[in-house]
Structure 1
Amino acid sequence: MGYRIAVIGATGNVGREILTTLAERKFPVDEVVALASEKSVGKQVSFGEDQILDVQDLAKFDFRGWDIALSSPGGKVSAEYSPKAAAAGCVVIDNTSHFRMDPDVPLVVPEVNPEAIAGYTKRRIIANPNCSTIQMVVALKPLHDLAKIKRVVVSTYQSVSGAGRDAMDELFNQTRAVYVNDPIEKKKFAKQIAFNVIPQIDVFMDDGSTKEEWKMVVETKKILDPKILVTATCVRVPVFISHSESVNIEFERPISADEAREALRAAPGVNVIDHLAEEGFVTPVETAGDDPVFVSRIREDISVENGLNMWVVADNLRKGAALNAVQIAEVLARDYLKK
């Protein structure tokens, strides 16, 4: 017996990827509905290779009798409709930032803290973490189990797909404009993104950090360990899909690069590609469309006691969003809803 699944924000990058991932992983589905705003009603989206879904109006949808909602419509919309769906008896896996720091809402990466899913009963909402946080904590978890992490310094190189389809179009159009000598139009980003990098993702906060950087700090603490100190610098780069991160870690005890490499190779959801050669590492282009978190350039940091450096790359639309949400749904269905 399968589940009745609602996908909220089904016409967006993440919503479409959720539908693809549900089909690819053969999630036990009896019925799927695609929901979006009124302006998207009448559009169609694919579910698997053979099924086409007509998009329905989220504002008019009745969630009674539906089991799980996978939601990626944006924070303001989610703030209104996720509680409504939950009140109707549907368990919501929310991909926006709105509920992540709510103490009554579990923030889950299944390879890291699947036991937290049990807390869904408080509000019937489970939060999917920020894309850059997800891939980092998947790589940090086996190392934290091995040697206890004290501090993390991370610099991100985040693709434009993290800012939506309009951002991807802007990179494409600006790149073309450079080559044909057309004016550069800036709509989604404050600065030119083509052939450039932008050290701002999300809004600035009072302490000078951006909200994206703040998310990485507080979400890592909630998911992995509140004692870990984290500082982040988040940068948008002219890459279409997949985020990269340079991660520096300080541990409580000595840990060698070989020990770290072995622990990461044994960890679920991690693929280590780390050879001292010109092609012995992973780049974002190579990870687009793949599920694992890829780790390369693992090496000891001689500037600090018990330090390591590593390079972490993952498809932000897959593991950073859709796949993680579907994995949460899989654990929820297997261990808690159990039809």
Structure 2
Amino acid sequence: MSVVIDITSLPRERVLFAPSPLAELGVALHALAEPAHHPGLHGWTTTTAAALKPDLAGRLAEADFLWRSTISDILLPHQSVPGATLTEELDAVDEIDDERYVSAALEISCSVDYGRGGPSPLVDAAAGERALERAAARGPRQLDFVQHLLADPPAVRAWIRRLLEDCEQAFFADLWQRVRGQLAADARHKGELLRHKGLAAALAAVSPVVALRQDAHGESIVVDKLADGRTTATDPAVGPGVTLVPTALGWPHLLVLHAPGWRPVIQYSAAGSDVRPGPESAELMERRLEALAHPVRVRMCRFLARAPYTTGELAAGLAITAPEVSRHLRTLRAAGLLTTRRHGRYVQHQLDVARTARLGSDFLEAVLR
């Protein structure tokens, strides 16, 4: 399984390595929302979360689906060159029309709609109902937020911008000051590799799971992930190009923006930023690996590692029946790899990331990539 970016006939100067303050803020917010995904950042997430004022912490909880289960495309650079400051990038986000913005903001489940495009929840009643159902499964606060977003996009967009600006003032300005030099140096190094040794060498330096593929069909950047997707870097409606953005906080995630109508973006861990958890006992590993011997359960783990999901959501995302999902969930739960909680009439399941990490960093990186 992989995400493929078609770059046939794309000039090499349209492959850009550049840091993005907006993308790094998105990763920082994700780490605060899901600290178990980032054990190497435990000190930073604990200290930062403890220092948040109650009002800001509450507002972050209202909108956390923008960065908890997956980092929304509105938090990745979509312009040809990322802005030098957060303000510049937020100004660019303000230029996105409401339909595209709302569609990107509501990427809150394992829906198969992402790679297909499809109508915006603002204009399609069925898409709107699906968005509300997914939000309801995450609690009344998220449902209220999505209802407001669908009813008054400009007001909620302004609210989200103020929230991100308040995050910059509260903690991100200091963080960006510390990491931007590292990210700029990494982007320069990858750019030099591209110019002097070619794209294959530059991609190999990004990650072992990112590669250049050349065949009879053309030329593509291929990212090995437990998901399938395809896009092009030469869409005339968007403009030619692909952007590769280093992050100091993102490991083990490797994000790929491949939604139709958006400039492709790959966000990768900058050199020296990987922090890997230690292994667990062989006996425990053997017992739990037996539960992961089925490919459907591995794909299920990819979803459940990011956020809690209901049985119905998993059935839709995996294109299998709800009883099949329940059987696989029972196997994972029996191995001690799941947590389950009830939100009203919804029962949500989530992967226990801390326990899964003990299986080894390779598996954790694969399901979170």
Q: Normalising by structure 2, what TM-score?
A: 0.25
Q: Which has the higher strand share?
A: 1
Query: What TM-score results when the alignment is normalised by the length of structure 1?
Result: 0.26
- Higher RCO (C-alpha under 8 Å, 6+ residues apart): 2
Q: Give the structure with the larger helix fraction.
A: 2
